Structure 1
Amino acid sequence: MSNLKFNPRNLILLLMILVITLFRLLVTFNSDELQFANFSSIGAVALFGGAYFKDHLKAFAFPLISLFLSDFILANTIFSKYSNGFLYEGWYWTYLAFALMVLVGRVLLKKINVVSLLSSTLTIVFIHWIVTDFGVWFQNPSYTQDLAGFWLCLERAIPFEIRFLEGTLIYGTLLFGAFELLKAKYPVLKLQTQSV
C-alpha cells in the first residue's frame, strides 16, 4: 500500500516532553507560591527538543507548545495575579529566551555526552538570565535605565537563576538519561537515515 513506515521516536520524544512539563505544574501547584520559582523543567525541555528532534519545526514547536500550555495553566490559576489575562507581562522575553535555548540544544548537543550537556546547560542559564531579565529591566521604573540599573536587575535575579540551573540539571539528567537508556534498549528509537 504505502511506503510510509511508523517511527515511534517522535511520539516518545513528545510524550517525554509532556510528562516532564507536567512536573513543572505539579511542583508549582504543590509548593508555596514562589518557593520553586524558576526551578522548572523548561530549560531541560528546550535542550532536549533541540538535541533530539532532527526536523527544525518539531525541535522548536514541541518545546514551545509545552511551555505555552504550562504557562497558560499557571497564568490562569495560581499566578493569575501576575497575569494580564492571557499569559504574564513580558512573556515574549521568556519565549525568545526559550527559542534561543532550543537553538543551543541544536548547535551544542549534536553529540550527547556529559561535557556537552553541562556546557549547553550553562549556556542556556546565561541566555535565560540575560534575555528574561532584560525584559524585567527595560522600561521598568524600579530600575534606572542604564547599565547600573540592568546590573542591579541581574544581581537580584541570581537566586532565581540558581534554581533554574538546578532544575535544568535535574530534569535534564532525567530526560536525556531516560531517552539514552530507551535508545539502548529499543534500537527503533535511534535516528534513522531518513529525515525524522
Structure 2
Amino acid sequence: MISDRAGYYLLDLARECIRYFLETGKHKVKPEMYPLELDEDLGVFVTLNKKSNLRGCIGYAEPIKPAIDATMEVALAAAFNDPRFPQVTEEEFENLDFEVTVLTKPEIIEVAHYQQYLDEIEIGRDGLIIQKGYARGLLLPQVAVENAFTTEEFLEHTCMKAGISADSWMDASCDVYKFQGQIFK
C-alpha cells in the first residue's frame, strides 16, 4: 500500500480540489511535486461526511489510473456528482469531514458453499464487492464497523447496494470479492 505521508497528501489534495472548484468553477491542475508512489494505479474512494452523516462517496474499486489522478477525479465526483445527494455548497464546505480510502485490488472469494464466506471475510479489514449479472455493489471496510454489522449483515447490505435481494450472496451465480483499504481522515 502507500505511506502515511502519501495518504495524507491525498486527503489534503481531495479537500483542495473541491475548494478550488467551489471558488473558481474550474478543475485544479495536477501538482508538479507530489509523492511519486502516487503514480501507481490504485483503487481510491473519497468520502464526505457532514455531522457524522454521509454526504458523498465516489471512487474506483479497480486500480485503473494513478492514485493521484483518481483522487482528484473522485473528490469532485463525491462533492458534485453523487446522485444520492445535492451538490456540495461553499457554505457547507468547512463543515465537511474528508476521508480517502486507498484500496487493494479486489480478489474473488472462492467457496464450495456460501456458508464459507462467513469464515473468509473479516469485519474491519475487508471491504466487499458483490456482483450478479450486471448488478454490482461495493461497501468499504469501514462501513461494516461504523454500522456494527455481522459478516452476514455486511454481505446482505452489499447485495442491497447492488440492487439485488439481500440473500443473493447465497446464490452460486453471485460473485463475492474482498479487498482491503487504507483509510486516511
TM-score, length-scaled by structure 1: 0.28
TM-score, length-scaled by structure 2: 0.29
Higher relative CO (Cα under 8 Å, sequence separation at least 6) belongs to 1
Q: Give the helix-richer structure, 1 or 2.
A: 1
Q: Give the strand-richer structure, 1 or 2.
A: 2
Q: Greater CA radius of gyration, 1 or 2?
A: 1
